[in-house]
Structure 1
Amino acid sequence: MILIVPANPLRPRRPDEHFVAEAEAARAAGFQVAVVDHDALARGGDVRRAVASVSGTGAAVYRGWMLRSERYAAFAEALAERGVVLRTTAEQYRRAHELPGWYAALAAVTPASVWSRGSDQADLDQARVALGAGPALLRDYTKSMKHYWDDAAFIPELDDAVAVWTVASRFLELREDDFVGGFVLRRFERFTSAEVRTWWVNGDCVLIGPHPDSPNERPSVEVDLESLAPMIAALLGPPRP
């Protein structure tokens, strides 16, 4: 197994400092570690050159910064030409990465959501009416701008079409060329406990950890893994060998 991580921009033969600990742990466990030029992958540059330092063949796992689905597909194709096969296929990545791909599988455990297929105000209005009155969060298919909460994320009332478009316009301004797919409106709900992240492999939860925004907080209730497991399995489909 090969662990692929982004290269350090200043020392391209070494892992990015954010992934050094994981790279070292992988090597200690007997895995091969390779680095790729994430910036080139993200901007749609020379993909073959971006993966040129990946040696060896066989299965690989990418642990790195987010890529657009089409960029990940090109990344996977370039690796396949070198005999390296990412365990997460391009189709699986898009399904898990973009909200319209995973929403149906997880609708029972996530806030009600609707989305548009573009960035026009008319498209957003249709989604706004479909979700109905009340507060909501705005994002695109892959990302919110939660650090601009009042300007580009939180919508106090969906019935206020002018206010909704004001938030959406600021969102588009901030996302620029990184905007993916269309607008997503998610019903606003307050957390009743600390946020956690779960890590799944072949339908099994292998790790539960704190969210990076609240590393010292712990949930007041246990995560119901038994009910989540079949949903995650249905989302990703059969595991790769």
Structure 2
Amino acid sequence: MQFFPASGLSGKCLEINWANRQDALMMLLVPADVLRPRRPDEHFAAEAEAARAAGIDVAVIDHDALSKPDGGEHAVSRVPAGDDAIYRGWMLRSEHYATFAAALARRGVILRTNAEQYRRAHELPGWYSSLETLTPRSAWTVGDDRDAFDRAREELGSGSAVLRDYTKSMKHYWHEAAFIPELDDPDAAWAVASRFRQLREDDMTGGFVLRRFENFVSAEVRTWWIDGTCLLAGPHPDTPDDLPTTELDLSPLQPMIAELNLPFVTADLALRADGRWRVIELGDGQVSDRPTTITPHAMITMLNAGSLQ
């Protein structure tokens, strides 16, 4: 199995003797196609096909129903009663994931990532303290009022920062809704926050997060971890053909990921100007996109070989 395309970048993810591993994955759940609800959404169809080829049961869920009151039962109505399952699909708010997990449990299906674990992986305040030494210094609010924003801004002190909420930035609106040139300029900083809030609309999660700006000099690398062990690494989905040529050293990160005790996560890393690898983001692996240069077969093989126990 290839962990990186031929690029000169070498990773230190665990090599697995796939032939000697027994199947670990019982069921794969993917979003249904909106127009053809018995079929997987096109974006996840290839992973569903690879899972079936590996002898794994696949079921579809109604992603949109999970955002509606009492929509959990309808969302999982096509999932057969069974055993453990893992989801590969669109991002879910933490409260919607909890609804999803509870509805599945009533059918005897247990997601291997429970609702509390999903929230800790999916929202920055859940993982920040464990990775604090390897990620930009951050401060955040609960809610979106200016007083709380100003307290978080003052906590970071002077200098540049990047704004996001608990789960997402608006990096494609860099100058108007992401980058704050100087935290000591309160009105200019609040203008960026206000635009961010406007763009996020109902998707705003938790509150504002201010992250100290750091100068990164490489494309991002996405690493995939099961039970604290890196099993797969490759490019970020936004830059699927672009990888750094510097060796990726995961040894400082591995014990920190293991300590989080999360079943399936991704960690996105980039090389800082001083030559240090830094964690840009941690996310739940179930809702982390797969770059086109990692094959569906590689993804399913990883999930099938990982213990996820």
What residue number does 1:223 align with?
248
Shift of the 145–127 alpha-carbon distance from structure 1 to 2, 3 Å rule, reads same
2:203 to 175, 178, 183: 178
Number of the residue aligned with 1:158: 183
Aligned residues of 2:143 and 2:206 also touching (Cα < 8 A)? yes
Following superposition, the deviation at residue 44 of structure 1 comes to 4.5
Alignment match of 1:64 (pick from 76, 89, 96) = 89
1:111 and 1:43, CA in 2 relative to 1: closer, same or farther beyond 3 A?
farther
Partners of 2:121 and 2:262 within 8 A in 1: no
SS in 2 for 1:127: helix
How far residue 178 of structure 1 moved from its aligned partner, in angstroms, is 1.1
Residue 129 of structure 2 corresponds to 104
Q: Choose which of 175, 200, 218 in structure 2 pairs with 1:193.
A: 218
Q: What SS is found at the alignment partner of 1:222? A: coil
Closer, same or farther in 2 for the Cα pair 1:140/1:231, shift >3 Å? same
What's the CA shift for 1:195? 0.5
Inter-CA distance 205–44: structure 2 relative to 1 (3 Å threshold)? farther
Are 1:44 and 1:71, in contact at CA under 8 Å, matched by a contact in 2? no
Candidates 117, 140, 160, aligned match of 2:165: 140
Query: Structure 1 112/44 Cα, relative in aligned 2: closer, same or farther at 3 Å?
Result: farther
User: Which position in structure 2 is the counterpart of 1:53?
Assistant: 78
CA contact (8 A) 1:76 1:86 kept: yes
Q: Counterpart in 1 of 2:53?
A: 28
Query: Which residue of the partner structure matches residue 145 of structure 2?
Result: 120
Pick one of 188, 213, 232 that aligns with 1:207.
Answer: 232
**Alpha-carbon distance in structure 1 between the residues aligned to 2:70 and 2:171:** 29
> Structure 2 vs 1, CA of residues 153 and 24 (structure 1 numbering), >3 Å: closer, same or farther?
same
Distance 1:141 1:186 in 2: 11
Residue by residue over 1:62-88, the C-alpha shift from the partner in whole angstroms, topping out at 9 and shown as x without a partner, is 111111111100100000000000000
Corresponding residue for 2:62? 37
Deviation track 1:124-157 (CA, whole Å, cap 9, x = no partner) reads 0000000011111101111111111111111111
Q: Is the partner of 1:5 in helix, strand or coil?
A: strand
- Between 66-75 and 38-47, report the one with greater CA deviation: 38-47
Q: Which residue type is aligned with residue 65 of structure 1?
A: W
Q: Name the structure 2 match of 1:13.
A: 38
Q: CA deviation at 1:42?
A: 3.2
Distance 1:186 1:152 in 2: 13
Shifted more, 13-22 versus 216-225: the winner is 216-225
Which residue is 2:174 aligned to?
Answer: 149
Measure, in 2, the Cα distance between the counterparts of 1:160 and 1:143: 23
Question: CA 1:146–1:66 in 2, change beyond 3 Å: closer, same or farther?
Answer: same
Q: CA deviation at 1:26?
A: 0.9
Q: TM-score, normalised by structure 1?
A: 0.96
Counterpart amino acid of residue 106 in structure 1: L
Query: Structure 2 counterpart of 1:151, which letter?
Result: E
For structure 1, the 5+ residue unaligned runs are none
Verify: 1:169 aligned to 2:194, yes or no.
yes
Identity of aligned residues (%): 66
Distance in 2 (alpha carbons) for counterparts of 1:146 and 1:42: 25
Q: What is the CA–CA distance in structure 2 between the aligned matches of 1:18 and 1:44, rounded to whole Å?
A: 26
* 1:77 counterpart (96, 102, 115): 102
Change (3 A) 1:43 1:139: farther
Please say if residues 96 and 236 of structure 1, whose CA atoms lie closer than 8 Å, have aligned partners that are also in contact.
no
Query: Per-residue deviation at 1:45?
Result: 5.2
Q: State how far apart, in whole Å, the 1-side matches of 2:204 and 2:83 are.
A: 34
Q: Matches of 2:178 and 2:124 in 1, distance apart?
A: 16
Q: Structure with the greater relative contact order (CA < 8 A, sep ≥ 6): 1 or 2?
A: 2
SS at match of 1:198: strand
CA contact (8 A) 2:27 2:86 kept: yes
